A and B are shown apart, each in its own frame.
Chain A
Amino acid sequence: MGLLDYDFMQRALLASLMVGLVAPAVGVFLVQRRLSLLGDGLGHVALTGVAVGVLTATSPVWTALVAAILGAVLIELVRARGRTSGDVALAVLFYGGIAGGVVLLSLAPRGQATNLDSYLFGAITTTSPQDVAVFAGISVVVLLSVALLGQRLYAVSDDEEYARAVGLPVLGLNVVLAALVASTVVLSMRVVGLLLISALMILPSAIAQLLARSFRETVLLACLIGVLVSVSGTATSFYTGTPSGGTIVLLAIALFLLVTSAVTLRESTARRRHRRRVDVHDAHPHEHGTACGHPPVPHGDHVDYDHDGHLHAPHHTGRGVHYDEHGGHPVAAPPNR
């Protein structure tokens, strides 16, 4: 029996596709701002929202969205006023949110409070067609906002003081980012659960930043990785009968470890290659200079010397002059450079 033969799995895969795409697109700004745990804090606040929804018999998605956005705006205002540190404000929000949620849910009539688990750890297969519609709406709004304001959000996340000095609306942009995080939290609630939300925002960015060279590349790669782990994790959970949230997060962590070790391996072989090339130079030693006969080649902020077709970059170390191999240039360097 195929995966796509079930309506609930179709909806589940659709939901995980949206979450996989949206969560990293917002999360990368949190990583840049070194505020990775904001998503967790807002997830806890969303639980209070869920509880209010259950108690008042309104849709928990909407009440969670309202609670998370209120929490997001509150934390930015506290940070901007500067009386309490962002760290402490976040902690208060964390515990207040989850305590409020647990207490309120316990007041609910018997039978309803039992689905606390599905909010904490995700219950993707219970996604209703209405949920899918709401998620699609949230996804479009979040992705549009990031596309429209991405560069400003990057500017504020990268160097808040500079952004303020040149007159970008720092507080406004911070509130917008926090509201985007809150929306993403609510979107991810069903798929990975409130306790694991940050994982899908942070892990794809953490993997992407190991591989990418630019911020733009990082965002696109993070979204790609997010979709990959989210959809494949959901599919895997169908066959293994494990919870979707935990499966997705474990997949993402496995990928993170894999990429980290691949990058480490690449760097160490590059260092070994570097040492071998240094040996090449040591085999016929002299100090490069204007009179050594090797053509000088300006390279960025220093001068390389063309040494039998490979470029030597001298730099001073504690033990004298050391030569780096700055390859990549053809044998004959352009004479006018």
Chain B
Amino acid sequence: MAHQSAEVDFRTRLQNWIPKLVLSPSLAAVLVFVYGFILFTLYLSFTNSKMLPSYDWVGFENYRKLWGLSHWWTAITNLAIFATLYIVICTAIGLTLAILLDQKIRGEGMLRPIYLYPMALSFIVTGTAWKWFLDPGIGLENTMHLWGWESFEFGWIKDRNMAIYTIVIAAVWQTSGFVMAMFLAGLRGIDNEILKAAQIDGASNWNLYRRIVIPLLRPAFLSAFVILSHLAIKSYDLVIALTGGGPGRATELPATFMYSYTFSRNLMGVGASSAVIMLMTIAAIMTPYLYAELREKP
């Protein structure tokens, strides 16, 4: 009807626009600084940029170069070893601690913050401590020798083949408490009546966990996996602080590879292509997860 549009008063129309106006700066920032930049880096990965961005299109040349570099292969292999061990060990420790802590433990309020505090610290800080702790000359090995265990050897951090495992140790130390908290929240969310019913059915504690509790923790496992894998791929600070990528290139990860190729070796095109591969790996894990999370809540 004719009068209808005239009746829509100014304030109502304004009210319809304000929310979008309020959201737009953040949205614009994200679109430019995240998605625009991703596109820019993607573009650079197809150019022969060296120290500065150039716009000479070279197609997949950088990717061909990248996958031909033994240095990149080291980084990828290290990431595979690191990510696998990091995820598995963190999940195992996290789940164990959560289950044990859930047994009406006296002093839980003391223990929980102790398990979790590493998460509040910078990797640079904890790396400093671990670097020193693992140093055979002054750290654990030396201490054991002084305590009389002369044959004790623990020089992984100086060992090309073993150094990556020291990164795993420090990273597990940092994050496993957090995984514990995730599982503990999951455990606390399980309906006790289910457990009581199973007990009445005669299930032992072992079976109770194996058959009922752990299957019910599926969402927590999924979250832990997603979070840990994306943390693993992004790991940068810890390597810098602990080994600086060394000895040699023994602990190089894609994150440190990208940084050194882009800013130290001045091969920006190659650096950009490695960043694109990192992004694609993370997107392959995060996108389905976020999609499922957001779809559940209409």
- A and B from one assembly? no
Q: Could you tell me which B residues sit within 8 Å of A by CB distance?
A: none
